[in-house]
Amino acid sequence: MNLKNLKKPIDKKLSKHLKFKNISVAYPYFNHKEVNAVLDSLLKLRISQGDKTKLFEKKFADFHNVKYGIAVNSGSSANLVLFAALIKQKKLRVGDEIIVPATTFATVVSPLYQLGLVPVYVDIESKNWNINPELIEGAISKKTKAIFTVHTLGFPSNMNEINKIAKRKKLFVIEDCCEAHGAKYNNKIVGSLSLASTFSFFVAHNITTGEGGMILTNDKKLQQDVRSIREFGRLLNIKKRFSTSAKMKNYDSRYMFMNMGYNLRLNDISSSIGIEQLKKLKSINIVRRANAKYLSDKLSSLKKHIYIPSVNKNEKSAYYGYPFMVKNSNLRNKLAKYLEDNGIETRAIMGGCLPDQPAFVNQKHRIYNNLVNSRIVKNSGIFIGIHSALQKKHLDKIVSTFEKFFKVISK
Ligand SMILES: Cc1ncc(COP(=O)(O)O)c(C=O)c1O
């Protein structure tokens, strides 16, 4: 790209990129603002974590009506650092159980295993593929300390029920909002409905910084430990350059380490993109929801063949993707191939039934009851793109491809 082009909005050119050959599952909705923001960081030589990251954290937290935002380099890191901080705070101890949905992404549970916590897998609802609140109470044991819910593919979890159970059973709740930027539950934005929440800004998500993530919380002490563990476990809020305390005399406060930490920081180049992306989130989601409605209306004639997850009246999905289930699961892979052959990208529902995955099968976990729905969704669920760069012609192409497939196979 040459500099002249930078003045022109890239999004106007989207339709050129989006030939029918490739109806992608995701597309970063960028224009000259993201490009200029990056250039600004580069020209100021602000290329590691700095003021723009601070600003992104503040704006993202404000957007969610939450006090603190802590930016990290991925959604996986957000989950890792948050649970490490919860252990530091003694809100959790090694061996404690955390209730999780059985169908979600791998790094919802990897950090739990890595930190010596024990996931308790609970089946998902057939309606929207989120953790089934009716099963949570039965899954609780003396060791259970928290419910870690995921707003799957942008569909909000049933937070009323989850929070009610948590209150009754003295557990705390964490939300994984990595797939659910701007989703709403009872008119409140997800990520603001629990002790803390996590986000991913990977390129496939509603807003993106390429790679990136965020933790939100109202808990001051928790945010301090998250912040410290994010960056080496170092002392923050330095008041005096050299320590005068008896034990740490003459240690440089910049190099005093209060926690066992990582380096999971987000740099200012990424944060500058995040600030611009956040301004677009509301309009991105309006288009995604309109696209989803258009597809659902058109595809309703194929109800015999496919099931489309529904949204309750009190919910607004962020439509990370457009999910559906092929009722005859034997046809799922064939349909995926047919869609791909016709230039429509598809993805399975993340990690499927997670306790079956090779990485986790031999790790310490508990499965509550059975995971019937999770396995059904693993076998017959799939999603396609519904992002804001898709136009009517792309949606019509999706519909006609579905119709052709089922016309041929139902003969
Ligand atoms: C529910 C969920 N949690 C966590 C992650 C991890 O995010 P990242 O890819 O930014 O590490 C993802 C990834 O998409 C996800 O879908």
Q: Which residues contact 18 (CB under 8 A, 6 or more apart)?
A: 24, 27, 389, 390, 391, 394
Q: Is the CB of 179 under 6 A from ligand 1?
A: yes
CA distance 264 to 53: 13
Cβ of 202 below 6 Å from ligand 1: yes
Q: Which atom of ligand 1 is nearest to the CA of 77?
A: 11
**Listed residue (140, 132, 128) closest to 171, CA to CA:** 140
Q: At residue 10, does pLDDT exceed 90?
A: no
CA of 200 to the centre of ligand 1 (A): 6
Atom of ligand 1 nearest to the CA of 74: 10
CA distance 167 to 200: 27
Find out whether the beta carbon of 271 lies less than 6 Å from any atom of ligand 1. Answer: no
pLDDT digits (tens, 9 = 90+) for 387-398: 999 999 999 999
Averaged over 278-303, what is the pLDDT? 96
Q: Which of 61, 25, 53 is nearest to 350 (CA)?
A: 25
* 8 Å CB contact between 117 and 94: yes
Cβ–ligand 1 distance for 104 under 6 Å, the answer yes
205 is annotated as an active-site residue: yes
User: How does strand 172-176 pair with strand 118-122?
Assistant: unpaired
So where are the chain's domains? 3-15+23-280, 284-351+359-410
- Report residue 341 CA to chain centroid gap: 28
Pairing of strands 144-150, 172-176: parallel
State the chain's mean pLDDT as an integer. Answer: 94
Contact between 274 and 375 (Cβ < 8 Å): no
pLDDT score of 406: 96
Kindly report the pTM of this predicted structure.
0.95
Q: What is the pLDDT of residue 3?
A: 40
Q: What is the pLDDT of residues 41-58, one digit of tens each?
A: 999 999 999 999 999 999
Per DSSP, the three-state class of 195 is coil
Question: What is the rounded CA–CA span in Å between residue 228 and residue 251?
Answer: 17
pLDDT tens for 144-189 read 999 999 999 999 999 999 999 999 999 999 999 999 999 999 999 9
Query: In sequence order, what DSSP letters do the residues of 101-150 get, joined into one string?
Result: ESBS-HHHHHHHHHTT-EEEEEPBPTTTSSB-HHHHHHH--TTEEEEEEE
- What atom of ligand 1 comes closest to residue 350's alpha carbon? 16
Q: Answer yes or no: is pLDDT of 2 > 60.
A: no
- Secondary structure letter of residue 319 according to DSSP: -
User: pLDDT-based confidence at 22, cuts 50/70/90?
Assistant: confident
Between the CA of 53 and the centroid of ligand 1 the distance, in Å, is 20
| 106 CA distance to ligand 1 middle (Å) | 8
**Mean pLDDT calculated for residue range 238-252:** 92
The mean pLDDT value for 236-264 works out to 93
Amino acid, single-letter form, for residue 227: R
Write the single-letter amino acid at 209. Answer: T
Ligand 1 near 111 CB (within 6 A)? no
Indicate if the pLDDT at residue 410 is higher than 90: no
Which of 205, 365, 387, 394 is the catalytic position? 205
The C-alpha atoms of residue 42 and residue 14 are separated, in whole angstroms, by 25
Ligand 1 pocket member 270 (CB < 6 A): no
* Per-residue model confidence (pLDDT) at position 19: 55
Query: Would you call 63 helix, strand, or coil by DSSP?
Result: helix
Structure tokens at 81: 């650092």
Distance between Cα 111 and ligand 1 center (Å)? 12
Domain 3-15+23-280 has CATH 3.40.640.10: yes
What value does the mean pLDDT take over residues 62-85? 98
Cβ contact 90:163 at 8 Å: no
CA atoms of 353 and 355, how far apart (whole Å): 6
pLDDT band at residue 309, thresholds of 50, 70 and 90? confident
The dihedral through the CA atoms of 131, 137, 141, 142 has a sign that is: positive
Whether 150 is in the pocket of ligand 1, judged by its Cβ within 6 Å, is yes
CATH of 284-351+359-410, one of 3.90.1150.10, 3.40.50.150, 3.20.19.10, 3.90.700.10: 3.90.1150.10
Identify the helix (H) or strand (E) that includes residue 32. helix 32-43
* Shortest-distance atom of ligand 1 to CA 79: 4
